[in-house]
Chains A and B, each alone.
Chain A
């Protein structure tokens, strides 16, 4: 039955990992702007329309 110590320790460690990831995400500013990234992700497709020409500078 002592496997329960192991299992619970593992589950707590996993939860701690998630907590750590959350804190790091907050720290990096991910929650400061919750709109722009959601729009930005859509732009990648648009750019591929003419990828060769987009290098042209004025």
Chain B
């Protein structure tokens, strides 16, 4: 397409709707308005940093009226005093340096805002304002009007400010301080050439080193002692036992050494070890601040709804305050927070997020509507049947099986290995002790401690964090965001893959549209397109986008009957678009596909059939996956697509339809009982249970900033075809770890041969330990990068 792009948002500009302003082209009025606001305030630098950084502002009429309610506002505030208020707002659109710039210059757009500060990673802006000059609602409206609509949900309500845990940084700082100083102070003795001054100051150096090692030993390494103790108590041998043992033995032996003047001890190796292992922990701790993997229904729910009083007045109230019998007003695109009965004539409700059904469902006055649906259409009125906590969705969510099991503790590869490593080490230590005690008691103690010191599995413990941390970063660049490093290990073990249909293997964005009936002439197509222009119904929008570009004609008598169709007159011709009943044709029950019927001047022309559009590369992906894995498709939708899917997918793919959320969960559970490791890939709330139950649950989303259900990983929809690559890569990551384990065991053998023969001097330890650490880290980094390119 050679269409120009909008100067503000970068979307293609439709010629007919093009707006030229200030010699720049805009796709719509919204974008132009934002540009106007910026140029009026001398903020056009916004466009200098990035090309077309903006977003089209959405219509938000009345959406934030609840911010007039002081009670709600005060719950959102971070800090509240007479003339200063601070609020943190989550803004999903933040994505580039232009965003940071404009958001940090908010004070130029609105009086009363003192400062605003962006945290790019968590996509938050922290606004400080003066409540006597402006208020939260004005700020939110301002942000929305420039295309940065904040997301305020029930989750923000009364959210306690989480204390950020920075103890790992402190520990690393302290460990590095001790390590560095001790190393420098140890050097003189390493290069001891029997000089007089060293002899004279030896005591001073040694006791200074001892004092410096105390903070590292007691503070930085504390976590290892705790973890080792816990694992002994629960009789699960993890890697922290030999580590803690090594550190403690090293400390005691070194203290004894200097106290009785045997030597200088291993303090530098000990602190180095602690430092490197903490560093490994930090490296593994890659988190995506802007994503959350632990969402529940609260983050989808609005914070307030509009309540209608008997006298016709409207009031914004907190959703928890909604009671049975209240009348609520739900606007277009708003989420229905509670179960209720529809009072308005009719509406369309999109339950795709709850049930997985692709098409909106029509509801008539008196019908029951459930929480979790999205209202599409005009403003509706509803009467509440249950309060929030008793509504279907909330109940479903609170159901135990929907909670990700905490006690489902996964044994990491390092822990598995240390189950053999720890006993072997102890046996070796005691055997050599038994051997040497027959020859020489003091050497026996030396050997015993030396073995525990040198075998302290520093390299072993570093392998997994550095490999997995690196892999986590690499696949993060490729837009699969995992919750933590253990997910990679589990991903490597997956043998069964279950896909959800709607929204997962189909894309919500585009649908292939086919026309059945009398071939439609070009002039008729122009009429249809012009009628569609006026309609906001999702099918109308899709059909509108599908039809070729045309000139704009004037539509008369335009009418939209919600749930039925639209009609209008152009150049004297009456065009009707809508359901079969609306056109006056008998409903054909055989066809399960979604279709829109057309008639012009009461002449039935035919219907447009909307196919679910499958994601690109689906066939190839399934073909490749089915060679190595069991592949299944689980859908909440009806069987309308079975034939198409059977044609598209490999023969051995199991297809299951009409699955409710609970059934999906049971399906996964059943597979697991058969001993399978299940990877579930889904998208909506309807998959939430299955995602939680599966060994690895990955939720797929068109836009990672939009909320996805609780899961282990979030995959950008554009990377759908790469699922096979990710599975492969995670397997290779485990291979890398195994190779590196081999390497570190080799170091252990070398070290142990020194130790058993009683030759482990501090200087040997001081060379072996950092050397093994450095080689292991560089080895795993290089190998995992090579694997990532290979795919």
A residues near B (Cβ < 8 Å) are 1, 4-5, 8, 11-12, 15-16, 18-19, 22-23, 26-27, 29, 31-36, 39-40, 42-43, 46-47, 49-50, 53-54, 56-58
- Please give the residue numbers on chain B whose beta carbons come within 8 Å of chain A beta carbons, in ascending order: 37, 40-42, 45, 48-49, 97, 100-101, 104, 108-111, 117-122, 164, 166, 169-170, 173-174, 177, 180-181, 184-185, 197, 200-201, 204, 208, 212
Contact across chains for A26 and B170 when beta carbons are under 8 A apart: yes
A53 touches B42 (CB 8 A): yes
Q: How far is the CB of B477 from chain A (nearest CB, A)?
A: 15
Task: Decide if B104 touches A40 in the complex (CB within 8 Å).
Answer: yes
Q: Which residue in A22, A27, A39, A53 is a CB contact (below 8 Å) of B120?
A: A39
Residue in A33, A42, A57 whose beta carbon sits within 8 Å of that of B108 in the complex: A57
A-B contact pairs, 5 of them (CB 8 A): A23-B173, A32-B119, A32-B166, A33-B121, A58-B40
Considering the complex of A and B, which 5 residue pairs feature the smallest CB-CB distances, nearest first?
Answer: A36-B120, A19-B177, A26-B169, A35-B120, A39-B97
**Other CB < 8 Å A-B pairs besides A12-B181, A56-B42, A58-B40, 13 of them?**
A1-B197, A8-B208, A12-B212, A19-B177, A23-B170, A26-B170, A31-B169, A32-B164, A33-B121, A35-B120, A43-B100, A46-B48, A58-B41
Contacts of B122 in A (CB 8 A): 33
Given contacts A31-B166, A58-B109, contact A22 B173 (CB under 8 A): yes
CA distance A43 to B37 in the complex (A): 20
CA separation between A7 and B122, bound complex, in Å?
Answer: 46
Bound complex: CA A54 to CA B107 (Å):
11
- Contact status A50-B166, CB under 8 Å: no
Across the interface, which residues of B come within 8 angstroms of A43, CB to CB? 100-101, 104
Nearest A residue (CB) for B212? A12
How many Å lie between the Cα of A3 and that of B196 in the bound state? 16
Instruction: List the A side residues contacting B42 at CB < 8 Å.
Output: 50, 53-54, 56
Residues of B within 8 A of A26 (CB): 166, 169-170, 173
A48 CB, nearest partner CB in chain B, Å: 10
Find B100's partner among A31, A40, A54, A58 (CB 8 Å cutoff).
Answer: A40
Q: Which residues of B contact A36 (CB under 8 A)?
A: 100, 117-121
A-chain residues with CB within 8 Å of residue B201 when the two chains form the complex: 1, 4
Residue of A nearest to B45 (CB): A46
Interface of chain A: mostly helix, strand, loop or mixed: helix
Docked-complex contact A33 and B120, CB < 8 angstroms? yes
Min C-beta distance of B336 to chain A, whole Å: 37
Chain B residue nearest to A33 in the complex (CB)? B119
Q: Whole-angstrom distance between the alpha carbons of A35 and B173 in the complex?
A: 21
What separation, in Å, do the CA atoms of A46 and B184 have in the docked complex?
Answer: 46
Interface centre among A16, A18, A39, A43 (most CB of B within 10 A): A39
B722 CB to nearest A CB, Å: 25
Q: From A1, which residue of chain B is reached at the shortest CB distance?
A: B197
Bound-state CA distance A4–B212 (Å) is 17
CA gap between A47 and B48 in the complex, in Å: 12
Q: Which residues in B have their C-beta under 8 angstroms from that of A4?
A: 197, 201, 204
Please, which residue of chain A has its CB at the minimum distance from the CB of B174?
A19
Name the one of B41, B117, B204 contacting A5, with C-beta atoms under 8 angstroms.
Answer: B204
Chain A residues within an 8 Å CB radius of B173: 19, 22-23, 26
Bound: A46/B119 CA distance, A: 20
Contact partners of B97 in chain A: CB under 8 A: 39, 42
C-alpha gap A46/B100 in the complex (Å): 13
CA–CA, A14 and B602, complex, Å: 91
B164 and A29 contacting across the interface, CB-CB below 8 Å? yes
Which of these, A1, A18, A46, A57, contacts B111 with CB under 8 Å?
A57
Residue of A nearest to B173 (CB): A22
**With known contacts A15-B180, A40-B100, A56–B170 Cβ distance under 8 A:** no
With both beta carbons as reference points, the residue of chain A lying nearest to B122 in the complex is identified as A33
Cα(A58)–Cα(B111), bound, Å: 8
A18 to chain B, nearest CB (A): 8
B215's nearest neighbour on chain A, judged by CB, is A19
Task: Compute how far the CA of A33 lies from the CA of B121 in the bound complex, rounded to whole angstroms.
Answer: 7
Q: Which residues of B contact A8 (CB under 8 A)?
A: 185, 208
**B118 to chain A: which residues have CB within 8 Å?**
36
List, in ascending order, chain B residues with CB within 8 A of A29's CB. 164
A58 to B120 Cα, complex, angstroms: 27
Q: Which chain A residues border B117 with CB–CB below 8 Å?
A: 36
Contacts of B170 in A (CB 8 A): 23, 26
The residue in chain A whose Cβ has the minimal distance to the Cβ of B46 is: A46
In contact, A35 and B121 (Cβ under 8 angstroms): yes
B174 neighbours in A (Cβ, 8 Å): 19
Collect the chain A residues with CB atoms within 8 Å of residue B200's CB. Answer: 1
How many Å lie between the Cα of A27 and that of B100 in the bound state? 24
A4 to B198, CA, bound (A): 11
> Roughly how many angstroms separate A16 CA and B173 CA in the complex, as a whole number?
11
| Nearest Cβ on chain A to B299's Cβ, whole angstroms | 22
* Chain B residue with Cβ nearest A29: B164
A6 to chain B, nearest CB (A): 12
Contact partners of A27 in chain B: CB under 8 A: 166
Bound Cα distance A31, B167 (Å): 12
CA–CA, A46 and B208, complex, Å: 52
* Interchain nearest-CB distance for A26 vs B (Å): 4
A14 to B164, CA, bound (A): 29
- CA distance in complex: A15, B215 (Å): 14
Report the separation of the CA atoms of residues A23 and B219 in the bound assembly, to the nearest whole angstrom.
14
A42–B40 alpha-carbon span in the complex (Å): 23
Write the chain A residue with the least CB distance to B184. Answer: A11
Tell me, rounded to whole Å, the shortest Cβ–Cβ distance linking A43 to chain B.
5
Nearest-neighbour CB distance to chain A for B287, whole angstroms, equals 11
Residues of chain A contacted by B108 (CB below 8 angstroms): 54, 57
